Structure 1
Amino acid sequence: MEDITITSEISRISRVSFKPPKFWKTEPETWFYRIKAQLRASGITTDATKFDYTITSLNHDVLIEAIDIIRKPPGINKYDTLKHRLMKRFAISQINKICTLIGRIPYGDQIPSQLLHKMQILNEDNISENVLKTLWLEQLPQNIRAVIVTRHEDIETLAKLADRIPETNEILKIQTLHKQVSPSNEIQQQISQLTEQVKKLTERPNKSNT
């Protein structure tokens, strides 16, 4: 009996402390995965409570997209009805996802594996891995693409390799710079030695005159 009481109290505290994250308009599906896990961890299972928590996470511009459901929620499946509306309003259609893939995702300052991950999310197995690999390679910087384009590893392995290429190139640049600087140091040493020799030669006559 005591264990049940403790469990109930922990569940009550979890519900009180639960604060859903603000709705992600650009990633609604990911947001619902997250809130589902948080609801489950907090022991929140009733439809009405899940519905209310979802509403509290919506900003004004999102609320107006489902205001009819919020004003007059259905008798059952309130949460799923609201979820379906938000997904319909903000989720990218499959056609748009493929168009985004083909139309190129801005590379920016991300690393190759991050670009691949975004493309895989958009793809959702709509196109084959070979086609996805081709689209991914086309969007990589030329110096990275040139290194891996002829390799035959799977796409995940290639992405890990591609991530390391900029670092490797930086090391090579430093090594090259070091090689370029080294001869200059040697020349400087030779100049110093010659200067010292000239100094000694110019001092000899003075010593002989004394």
Structure 2
Amino acid sequence: MPEDNFEDAVTTVQVARLAVKPPPFWKPDPRLWFAQVEAQFVRSGISTDETKFYAIVAEVDSAILAHASDIISAPPATNKYNTLKERLIDEFGESTERRLKRLFETCELNDRKPTTLLREMKELANHRLDKQILKSLWMRRLPVHVQQILATLKDDVEIFAQKADDILDISPGDKLSTIDTEDTRATLADLVSRLDRIESENQRNVDHIGYGGRQKAPPSRSTPAARSSQSRPTQSNICWYHQAFGEQANKCRPPCAYVRPHSEN
């Protein structure tokens, strides 16, 4: 029975060594490197602390392991793998202070998607910031017109990021621009449409009621009155803008018979 157990242990170590082939240790982000290794552990069914520990010792370059030589030469009785992992992350990873400084000072949108920026900021924050603070920091990195649209919504920051991606897909261009382009054009188009409707309605009312509020029948074309009325503009053939603003109007809509009055000398 003990011999069987020994054979099982040897087989487990051999399988672990064959199954786990991590990439070269990545100094810029050891957390990500350990995440890759742990994915291989899961895929290979490796769960024991000792097997994980010796898999790392067997595969990582000795120049890296030199920073944890005390742990390797005299490993703790329990929690061997996590002890080694934390040492290597402390030695090669960014400090919490440096990560937060990068989050607040140098993390920008540039040519990336808002969802990509959010993922990086969450990684740098590492659950050390309140979600609302992180959301506020992220939104400040977006173009102004995207901020204005998102400010009218009430959703989680993850949903905001997806919507920000969609907005920038619809209105591409300089992501660093602070000029509201697409949203402004839509707003102006809506205002022009409303003015057109108001003008048309006023024109119909003027044509129906006539100047002075009395019902008027149009004079016959053959009478002198008709020829006289055609020689000077009336309310019915002056556009809404000139009716409302007089000579200050600057958006005259044809047909319009308005004549600017001559200034007196």
Choose from 157, 160, 180 the match for 2:159.
157
Residue identity (%): 33
Q: Are 1:128 and 2:130 counterparts?
A: yes
| Structure having greater relative contact order (Cα 8 Å, sep ≥ 6) | 1
Structure 1 unaligned spans of 5+: 1-7, 177-210
Deviations, residues 168-202 of structure 1 (Å, cap 9, x unaligned): 114999xx9xxxxxxxxxxxxxxxxxxxxxxxxxx
Look at both structures and tell me which one has the larger radius of gyration over its CA atoms. 2
What is the CA RMSD across the aligned residues, in angstroms? 3.4
Correspondence for 2:39: 37
Give, in angstroms, the shift of residue 105 of structure 1.
0.7
Report Cα offsets for 1:1-60 as digits up to 9, x if no partner: xxxxxxx8x976565243123223233233323322322432445555423321344346
The answer for the alignment partner of 1:76 in structure 2 is 77
Counterpart mapping for 1:13-162 below 5 A: 15-45=17-47, 47-59=49-61, 62-70=64-72, 72-74=73-75, 76-77=77-78, 78-162=80-164
Aligned positions, number: 165
Deviation of 1:135 after TM superposition, in Å, equals 0.6
Per-residue deviation, residues 93-138 of structure 1 (Å, max 9, x unmatched): 3333332222131323321011111111222332222211111011
Provide the C-alpha distance between the structure 2 equivalents of 1:167 and 1:106, rounded to a whole number of angstroms: 18
Distance 1:61 1:74, change over 3 A: closer
Kept in 1, the 8 Å contact 2:17–2:55? The answer is no
Deviation at 1:88, TM superposition (A): 1.6
Query: Residue 113 of structure 1 contacts residue 160 of structure 1 at CA under 8 Å; is this kept in 2?
Result: yes
CA deviation map 1:52-94 (0-9, x unaligned): 3213443465334224444x24263443332121122133333
TM-score by length of 2: 0.51
CA contact (8 A) 2:115 2:161 kept: yes
TM-score of the superposed pair, with normalisation by structure 1: 0.62
| Shift in Å, 1:158 | 1.0
Indicate if the aligned counterparts of 1:20 and 1:57 stay in contact, CA closer than 8 A.
Answer: yes
- Flag structure 2 segments of 5+ consecutive residues without an equivalent: 1-7, 174-180, 186-265
CA distance in 2, matches of 1:130, 1:48: 41
Structure number having the greater helix percentage: 1
Partner of 1:195: none
Q: Distance in 2 between matches of 1:69 and 1:14?
A: 21
Change (3 A) 1:64 1:109: farther
The SS at the match of 1:105 is coil
Task: Single out whichever of 132-141 and 46-55 deviates more from structure 2.
Answer: 46-55
